[in-house]
Structure 1
Amino acid sequence: MDTPHAPEAVGRRMNVTLWVLQILTGVFFIVASSFPKLIAQSSAVEIFDQIGGRWFMYLIGAFELAGGVALLIPILSGLASLAFIGLMVGAFITQLVVLDGENALTPVILLVIVAVIAWGRRERTAELIAWMRSRR
């Protein structure tokens, strides 16, 4: 590989890696995380009865569904990952404080993944914010 082209190759690899993370994470949030909440699966109901009730379960499920879809939309992926950072911090704290902490590692792993996506898509997020400000 020639030195002048090395940054382009690294950029392409990073973009592909980010897309793989976005697709896998988006599908996870849509299928494995939001659907059990939105269809009131018994295991989700049991957990949310301890932490805030069914209205909260449906709200979090809707956030996860919207965020999972947004991870798959280029201009929204960075913003969605930032929102998921907040959601995963909340999930981690809830696991430790309210629940038994047995599943506390899951939100930490997801937090790391969405933080990588947020960092990798920071330019797109800045473009989106600049575009929104220009519309005022």
Structure 2
Amino acid sequence: MTSSLLVSPTQRRIVWGIRILLALAFGAAGLAKLAGAPQMVQVFEAVGFGQWFRYVTGVVEVGGALLLLVPATGFIGGLLLTVTMAGAVATHLVLIGGNPAPAIVLALLSAFVTWRLRPMPRPTARVA
């Protein structure tokens, strides 16, 4: 049983809306990385791990976006993207500078979705 079964239809719609918004944002960002958009190449050059890391990040973002859209895997997608954005925030703060606010917002939204979709323990049957 997931926590989504314990909420109102309005709350479910809000979570779905955020999931769709995140999927669009991460899908676009991931595809830009995979396509070699000049800005993405420049950012990952500044990171200093090499362009292979841009490809890995792009695959993670596109994969996470797809996982968010599947009800059974939404929690995993949210968790994957939350961790990715935590890394992006740290990268901005420690390595490349710039404004970490977009990464912070995406991390918080991803964390919210992850929390709302977290697996709930099943109630155990009591034997008298």
TM (normalized to structure 1)? Answer: 0.80
1:97 to 91, 94, 97: 94
2:25 maps to 28
Deviation at 1:112, TM superposition (A): 0.9
Deviation at 1:21, TM superposition (A): 0.3
Pair 1:62 & 2:55 matched: no
Render the CA deviation track for 1:38-60: whole Å, top value 9, x for unaligned.
Answer: 01111100110121111000000
1:87 maps to 84
TM (normalized to structure 2)? Answer: 0.85
Percent identity over the alignment is 27
Deviation at 1:11, TM superposition (A): 1.6
2:118 to 111, 117, 122: 122
Secondary structure in 1 matching 2:96: coil
Q: C-alpha distance in 2, partners of 1:113/1:61?
A: 19
Structure 1: gaps of 5 or more residues: 1-7, 128-136
Higher RCO, 1 or 2 (CA under 8 Å, sep at least 6)?
Answer: 2
Q: C-alpha distance in 2, partners of 1:105/1:53?
A: 24
1:4 maps to none
Aligned residues: 117
2:125 maps to none
Pair 1:14 & 2:11 matched: yes
Secondary structure in 2 matching 1:22: helix
Structure 1's consecutive aligned runs of 4 or more residues displaced over 3 angstroms after TM superposition are none
Greater helix proportion: 1
